[in-house]
Structure 1
């Protein structure tokens, strides 16, 4: 009997040893992640990103491709509105493309090294490697890391990352705020390493021509420098230029976003234009105004750079101006400012006496200008505009 008991105990111990050999702890997984990142030549993945920062969840299809040393292509598609925006990094620089408008913003930027993206594998692995207080769990077919988040948006505090046990491919990412409320959720339905990618995947012209709207070659327009000249729209709603330093449209030639005075200066030579039919322009209003104590001061139709548009001025605790235009001409604009991730698209941030945030979406170009609105609030206001577009 004793011998049988001893044999049973030995078998149980042996089983436990085998089970232990089959599992991995956080240290071994982290070590293997570092090795995998070093030997990864390419990757490509698709999935769905859901933003919970608006009053209603907004979904976007994500298509991401990478090739060493630093080629990137990310496409975000709103399937409900059939809108796609693309960010590329190739030998010529960093480009934000709106194929439906045949519009390109070009940046001299170290993106994405200088700012992480929730759908980039490098960003996820880096956050795991750098957080020595990382939390680790092993589920049925996933390793789960709970680590600090490091994104432009300071409200994104932590992220939970699910990695496939078989190849460490990302399965899901949840990014939450300091109250553990999930703000961004990415679910990958496909992710593959080291499959050959054609170099045309990262070509700017090829990506523009993928849209039916790309029938003509985009013209070139160079905006003002990011050091604004102080003539941007007065944050309190006084007369002044509307946000110099924004990206230029083909309609306003070499002038930046500040060639028009939204509150009267343009009336000298453009009052008749403004009175002309702005082709039934339908403006979008932000659903988030930047905090308490801010309200719409006034709004009016304008013609901005030869294009129909709309201006809204907000005042109170903070003061800012939002100009929307509906460009018909195509343009390539050199982005002299900093790239900013809005979640659903990318914007250009120009800082100076006045700060201007410029982006395109849904066939419209937006310029948000303020002298006192904090940047995180400016980004939140810009993000809330797409919430209105989704209604």
Structure 2
């Protein structure tokens, strides 16, 4: 009997020692994560992103390709609408592509180095490694880190990151606001280290052609310069027929859009009724569900902007702003001298100084929110994110 007890005690000691040796402390895990970050050559990730930032949660498929040193391809797909937007970074710059609209925005930017993305592995690793107050836990097959969130949206305060214990691949991310409410969730279904990509994987034209509906292919501008650098709110390019397009919409004293065929100050002249074409039968007006505190809808009018018919909604109160909605025709790559803005479900483009315009595409529509510079970017983003409900009748 004593022998059995003695053998059992020895076995328990070996079990405890083996368990202790197999467990990793936070310091060793952090050290290994640093090595992973330094040695990483490429990766491919697939997953689902859920946004709880509006009245109705939005869900998107996310696919990320990365190749050292600065090649990125991020595809955000709304499966219900079968619409994909692609963000590319290559040797030519940063591009936001909407293949279905045959539309390209080009930026001179150091994205994503200057702003993190919740679905990028580099962002997650940096968040863990740079937060000295990080909290560490072990959960079944994953290491869980609770760290500060460092995103463009200042309302996102903290995030939990689950990394696979075997290879440190991400499995899940939850980003919370200051009230500890989960606003963004990303679940990774697949993650591969060091995949080999095709030579055209990060090519702008190849990605545009691969996802576009049958239509004349656009031609990227050679010099990459804005046609009118003094007016950063004026988008310029060429349409599928090679004709130049231009226009601007603004919120001046009366918040109205300017005539896109004239070069006066934005908001000073109402579009003429005879110049406004009828809206297409497929057009459905969409309105934000969040207007901002102390802001009310003023009116809506049909206008023609850059050769496209649309509606201009005007809002007034604490902030005066307009939202222009159009269904643009195929256009060429347009250089935008602005900055990328992460809207969660898509990437927007912010241009202008005294008067700022946030441009984004959603469900085949292009939206331009224009206001004076006293409206915080967080408010502009919140309004843009709320344009996601059922179209108004």
TM over 0.5: yes
Question: 1:144-178 CA deviation, whole Å, 9 max, x = no partner?
Answer: 11110100000111110111111110000000101
| Corresponding position: 1:210 with 2:207 | no
Identify the residue that residue 269 of structure 2 maps to in structure 1. Answer: 265
Q: Distance in 1 between matches of 2:237 and 2:176?
A: 36
| Corresponding position: 1:247 with 2:235 | yes
Question: 1:108-140 CA deviation, whole Å, 9 max, x = no partner?
Answer: 000000010101000000000001111111111
Q: In structure 1, the residue corresponding to 2:156 is in which secondary structure?
A: coil
Identify the residue that residue 315 of structure 2 maps to in structure 1. Answer: 314
Identify the residue that residue 193 of structure 1 maps to in structure 2. Answer: 193
- Give TM-score, length-normalised by structure 2: 0.88
Q: In structure 2, the residue corresponding to 1:289 is in which secondary structure?
A: coil
Q: CA deviation at 1:250?
A: 4.1
Q: Distance in 1 between matches of 2:285 and 2:84?
A: 20
Identify the residue that residue 375 of structure 1 maps to in structure 2. Answer: 377
Identify the residue that residue 91 of structure 1 maps to in structure 2. Answer: 91
Which residues in structure 2 correspond to 1:154-193 (within 5 Å)? 154-193=154-193
Q: Distance in 2 between matches of 1:194 and 1:151?
A: 26
Q: Which has the larger displacement, 94-103 or 205-214?
A: 205-214
Q: Which has the larger displacement, 203-212 or 86-95?
A: 203-212
Q: In structure 1, the residue corresponding to 2:387 is in which secondary structure?
A: helix
Q: Distance in 2 between matches of 1:361 and 1:226?
A: 27
Asked if structure 2 preserves the Cα contact closer than 8 Å seen for 1:227 and 1:352, the reply is no
Q: In structure 1, the residue corresponding to 2:211 is in which secondary structure?
A: coil
- Give TM-score, length-normalised by structure 1: 0.89
Q: CA deviation at 1:223?
A: 4.6
Specify which structure has the higher proportion of helix: 1
Question: 1:342-386 CA deviation, whole Å, 9 max, x = no partner?
Answer: 111111111311111111222221110111321100011011113
The runs of at least 4 aligned residues of structure 1 exceeding 6 Å deviation read 1-4, 224-227
Say if 1:320 and 1:224 are closer, same or farther in 2 by CA, change over 3 A. Answer: farther
Identify the residue that residue 123 of structure 1 maps to in structure 2. Answer: 123
Question: 1:192-216 CA deviation, whole Å, 9 max, x = no partner?
Answer: 0012111211111111111242531
Q: In structure 1, the residue corresponding to 2:291 is in which secondary structure?
A: coil
Number of aligned residue pairs: give it. Answer: 372
Q: Distance in 2 between matches of 1:123 and 1:7?
A: 50
Q: Distance in 1 between matches of 2:301 and 2:128?
A: 49
Which residues in structure 2 correspond to 1:53-64 (within 5 Å)? 53-64=53-64
Which residues in structure 2 correspond to 1:1-391 (within 5 Å)? 8-213=8-213, 215-219=215-219, 223=226, 228=231, 245=233, 247-248=235-236, 250=238, 253=244, 255-258=246-249, 261=258, 265-267=269-271, 270-274=272-276, 276-280=277-281, 281-290=283-292, 292-371=293-372, 372-388=374-390
Q: Distance in 2 between matches of 1:108 and 1:179?
A: 36
Say if 1:70 and 1:390 are closer, same or farther in 2 by CA, change over 3 A. Answer: farther
Q: Which runs of 5+ in 2 are unaligned?
A: 251-256, 260-266
Say if 1:185 and 1:225 are closer, same or farther in 2 by CA, change over 3 A. Answer: farther
Say if 1:226 and 1:158 are closer, same or farther in 2 by CA, change over 3 A. Answer: farther
Say if 1:247 and 1:23 are closer, same or farther in 2 by CA, change over 3 A. Answer: farther
Q: In structure 1, the residue corresponding to 2:200 is in which secondary structure?
A: helix
Q: In structure 2, the residue corresponding to 1:163 is in which secondary structure?
A: strand
Q: CA deviation at 1:317?
A: 1.4
